[in-house]
């Protein structure tokens, strides 16, 4: 019999798979964020003229990212919490909460359940390969979360890989893109780039006449 925690992981896979088209609908917004990141990277914060452009870009980034956060990131966190697969604020719980019921799964299931397990594996792989690539890179939550989810699901499905293709090994890496890190890993309230104060000029020391 499939344990309850594994059933919850399968329900989470169903949720992600059902949202593929919804996530794809934000492809244009992800591209705009990437373009803004490239523009921002080429500006100099201490330059008077670039500073104004940076403020405008940061404001635009904040508005666009808030849409991604409310439409994608927060619902994923809420679903993970609802299904009790982990504490989204402590990503390591994704492994710690589920590994014990996964380790002996292949000894507890019947043939009909195996078909369901393989189907869930295919659903997750389909999600990972068809959701927008930037979903897994352009924020500070998804890269770590999906790395851990990939890891626990690879462990779950490893004994149900009929053709031994190691499909999880070929999944794209989940890493924050370097040129986007500077603003996606900051608090959205602190996106403005401030020109640092210039050090005060030291006054020359007066020589005391002998």
> At residue 37, does pLDDT exceed 60?
yes
Contact 17, 127 (CB under 8 A): yes
Q: Which residue has the higher pLDDT, 168 or 8?
A: 8
Contact 82, 40 (CB under 8 A): no
Residue 54, phi then psi, degrees to nearest 5: -60, -40
Q: Over the stretch 99-116, which tens digit does the pLDDT of each residue have?
A: 999 988 877 888 889 999
- Mean pLDDT over all residues of the chain? 82
> At residue 206, does pLDDT exceed 60?
no
Q: What is the DSSP string of 22-39?
A: HHHTTHHHHHHHHHHHHH
Helices (H), the chain: 4-18, 20-24, 27-41, 48-68, 74-82, 93-96, 99-103, 111-130, 142-157, 178-184
3-class secondary structure, 176: coil
Q: Over the stretch 42-90, which tens digit does the pLDDT of each residue have?
A: 888 888 888 888 999 999 999 999 999 999 999 999 999 999 999 999 9
């Amino acid at each position: 019999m499939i344990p309850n925690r594994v059933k919850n992981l399968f329900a989470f896979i169903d949720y992600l798979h059902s949202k593929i088209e919804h996530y794809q609908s934000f492809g244009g917004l992800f591209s705009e964020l990437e373009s803004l990141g490239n523009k921002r990277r080429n500006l100099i914060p201490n330059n008077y003229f670039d500073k104004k452009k940076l403020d405008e870009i940061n404001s635009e980034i904040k508005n666009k990212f808030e849409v991604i956060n409310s439409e994608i990131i927060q619902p994923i966190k809420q679903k993970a919490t609802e299904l009790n697969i982990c504490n989204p604020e402590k990503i390591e719980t994704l492994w710690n909460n589920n590994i014990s019921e996964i380790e002996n799964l292949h000894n507890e299931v019947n043939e009909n359940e195996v078909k369901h397990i393989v189907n869930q594996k295919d659903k997750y792989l389909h999600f990972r390969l068809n959701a927008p690539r930037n979903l897994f890179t352009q924020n500070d939550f998804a890269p770590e979360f999906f790395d851990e989810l990939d890891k626990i699901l690879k462990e779950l499905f490893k004994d149900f890989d009929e053709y031994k293709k190691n499909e999880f090994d070929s999944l794209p890496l989940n890493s924050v893109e370097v040129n986007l890190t500077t603003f996606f890993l900051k608090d959205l309230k602190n996106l403005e780039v401030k020109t640092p104060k210039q050090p005060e000029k030291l006054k020359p020391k007066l020589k005391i006449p002998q």
